[in-house]
């Protein structure tokens, strides 16, 4: 009999590996929650036009990678390929920017979808934790977000990641650079699709990974030579704040990121242990995105870090996370009366905040103790008819192997004391 399988390019998260993903999400979001970022959740699909306008009609994401669908009512929807446009749309719709407390600081976690060729570290469904600071132009905000991501990765034990940093200029200086870059690129030996990209978004050509293209880009004009004084000063302030915070970074003048909405600060977190898919996260400033999607002028900055990529980075560094056991106490009843009594004890333990599980299904002692071992529980509670007649349960320390009889009425209190 055939069974259904997960769609190509996707994955299921199942225990015990899923516990690592949860721990990574927790570690990335913890510094954000401690820094004034509130949680936001948006739908898994949005109007196609939101991404066409926001992410950019010339990007691979919009032209090749979006999953789109037409509803019965004729609406064109897309599974979200990234989080920023959705979060900004939701913030605008809820008028969060009018509450008088700017920037609006938000964090989110969820699944995103892109139709790409599946390979290690690149899936058609992937998980991210992201952060956005909406409504304020301040280099300290850019630095804060980079520092918080660095803090999150270090708290996980990662060490072999690098931070790449660049400035893309703004609406004053980027058009001048764009023209100079287009003039240079038009003389190169490039295929038709890349030539079309030169006219729509020439910065994306700099991000082309093909060796024959990169070889021709050696003498391309540098964006840093075209930055206006305001953008130069802004970028230097971001760099100075990061340096003062002890956060190491590398200047990368070819870093442009894959989305059209970025301005000024752009950055990427890369890990050298991941092969070609080396980026584990990234982001930047997007001062014009609000206006692109029909909102007011709201300068903003944000990032998204890949949960699956971060897990791969941990594996590449052989970092073992210290994950707490999902079960602290495992109850093994022998007989019907013991089932009823120990189930009551398990419920009492759970109400007291102790992780407890139960040998369901009426298995014998041998099978139930195997399950207790697999659960990772520190203690087991075993009781049969004779124990109950004496008003006790057997408490076994699974680490030392020591076992002792404890009065039934005191079992929960004794376990609470031992488990601290």
Question: Mean pLDDT throughout 255-279?
Answer: 82
- What pLDDT does residue 258 have? 57
Cα-based distances in Å from 286 to 15, 260, 290, 295, 299? 38, 9, 8, 13, 6
Tell whether the model's pLDDT for residue 150 goes beyond 90: yes
Domains contained in the chain, CATH given:
17-173+227-316 (3.30.930.10), 329-418 (3.40.50.800)
Residue 121 has pLDDT above 90, yes or no: no
86-90: average pLDDT: 96
- SS3 for 183? helix
| pLDDT(267) > 70 | yes
Residue range 224-244: mean pLDDT, rounded: 95
Q: Which residues contact 238 (CB under 8 A, 6 or more apart)?
A: 139, 142, 143, 146, 165, 265
Q: What per-residue confidence (pLDDT) applies to 259?
A: 60
Tell me the mean pLDDT in the region 265-278.
88
Cβ–Cβ under 8 Å, residues 228 and 176:
no
What does the CA dihedral 366, 372, 376, 377 come to, rounded to 10 degrees? -130
CA 312 vs CA 208, 274, 324: distances in Å: 24, 7, 20
Distances (CA, A) of 323 to 22, 27, 156: 10, 12, 11
CB neighbours of 252 closer than 8 A, spacing ≥ 6? Answer: 164, 165, 166, 268
For residue 343, the model assigns a pLDDT of 96
- Dihedral angle, C-alpha 114, 116, 119, 125, nearest 10 °: 20
| Mean pLDDT score, 113-119 | 84
Phi-psi category of residue 391: left, alpha or beta, with phi > 0 → left and psi -120 to 50 → alpha? left
Element (H, E) at 103: none
Task: Please tell me whether residue 174 adopts helix, strand or coil conformation.
Answer: helix
Q: Are 310 and 27 in contact (CB under 8 A)?
A: no
Which residue from 283, 254, 258, 248 is spatially nearest to 268, judged by alpha carbons? 283
* Concatenated DSSP letters of 203-232: HHHHT---HHHHHHTTTPPPGGGT--HHHH
* 353 three-class SS: coil
Phi and psi at residue 127, to the nearest 5°: -115, 135
pLDDT mean over 31-38 = 98
> Quick one: average pLDDT of 257-268?
79
- The CA distance from 269 to 280, in Å, is 6
On average, the pLDDT of the chain sits at 91
Task: Give φ, ψ of 329 to 5 degrees.
Answer: -130, 135
| E strand spans, 236-355 | 250-251, 263-271, 279-285, 300-306, 329-333
Residue 59's pLDDT band (cuts 50, 70, 90): low
Task: Write out pLDDT tens, residues 284-322.
Answer: 999 989 998 999 999 999 999 999 999 999 999 999 999
pLDDT of 1 above 60: no
Q: How far is CA 416 from CA 28, 331, 347, 388, 397, in A?
A: 31, 15, 13, 21, 14
How would DSSP label each residue in 378-396? Answer: SEEEEE-HHHHHTTEEEEE
- Which residues have C-beta within 8 Å of that of residue 12, sequence separation ≥ 6? 6
Residue 56 has pLDDT above 70, yes or no: no
Under 8 Å between Cβ of 111 and 210: no
pLDDT in tens, 324-367: 888 999 999 999 999 999 999 999 999 999 999 999 998 889 99
Q: What percent of the chain has pLDDT over 70?
A: 96
| 366-407: pLDDT as tens digits | 999 999 999 999 999 999 999 999 999 999 999 999 999 999
Predicted local distance difference test score (pLDDT) of residue 53: 79
On whether the CB atoms of residues 207 and 256 are closer than 8 A, the answer is: yes
- Predicted confidence (pLDDT) per residue in 156-210, tens digit: 999 999 999 999 998 888 888 888 989 999 988 888 888 888 888 788 788 777 8
How far out from the chain centre does Cα 204 lie? 24
Whole-angstrom distance, CA of residue 77 vs CA of residue 227: 38
């Amino acid at each position: 009999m055939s069974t259904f399988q997960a769609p190509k390019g996707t994955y299921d998260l199942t225990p015990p590996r899923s516990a690592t993903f949860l721990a990574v999400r927790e570690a990335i979001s913890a510094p954000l929650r401690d820094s004034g970022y509130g949680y936001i959740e948006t739908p898994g699909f949005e109007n196609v036009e939101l991404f066409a306008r926001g992410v950019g009609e010339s990007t691979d994401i919009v032209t090749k990678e979006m999953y789109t669908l037409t509803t019965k009512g004729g609406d064109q929807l897309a599974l979200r390929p990234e989080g920023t446009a959705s979060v900004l749309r939701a913030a605008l719709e809820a008028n969060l920017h009018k509450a008088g407390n700017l920037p609006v600081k938000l964090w989110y976690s969820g699944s995103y979808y892109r139709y790409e060729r599946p390979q290690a570290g690149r899936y058609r469904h992937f998980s991210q934790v992201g952060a956005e600071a909406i409504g304020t132009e301040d280099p300290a905000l850019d630095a804060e977000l980079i520092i918080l991501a660095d803090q999150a990765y270090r708290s996980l034990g990662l060490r072999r990641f690098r931070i790449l940093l660049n400035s893309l200029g703004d609406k004053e200086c980027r058009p001048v650079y764009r023209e100079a870059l287009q003039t240079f690129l038009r003389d190169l030996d490039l295929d038709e699709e890349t030539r079309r990209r030169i006219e729509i978004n020439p910065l994306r050509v700099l991000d082309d990974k093909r060796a024959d293209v990169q070889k021709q880009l050696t003498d391309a004009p540098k964006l840093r030579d075209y930055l206006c004084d305001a953008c130069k000063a802004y970028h230097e302030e971001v760099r100075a704040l990061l340096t003062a915070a002890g956060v190491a970074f590398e200047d990368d003048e070819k870093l442009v990121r894959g989305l059209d909405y970025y301005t000024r600060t752009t950055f990427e977190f890369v890990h050298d242990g991941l092969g070609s898919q080396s980026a584990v996260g990234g982001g930047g400033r997007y001062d014009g995105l609000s206006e692109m999607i029909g909102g007011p002028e709201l300068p903003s900055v944000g990032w998204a870090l890949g949960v699956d990529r971060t897990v791969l980075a941990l594996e590449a560094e052989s970092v073992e996370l210290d994950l707490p056991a999902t079960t602290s106490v495992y109850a093994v009843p022998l007989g019907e009366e013991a089932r009823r009594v120990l189930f009551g004890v398990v419920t009492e333990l759970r109400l007291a905040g102790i992780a407890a599980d139960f040998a369901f299904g009426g298995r014998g002692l041998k099978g139930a103790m195997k399950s207790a071992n697999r659960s990772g529980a520190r203690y087991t509670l075993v009781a049969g008819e004779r124990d109950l007649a004496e008003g006790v349960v057997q408490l076994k320390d699974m680490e030392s192997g020591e076992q002792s009889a404890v009065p039934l009425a005191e079992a929960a209190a004794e376990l609470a004391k031992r488990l601290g």
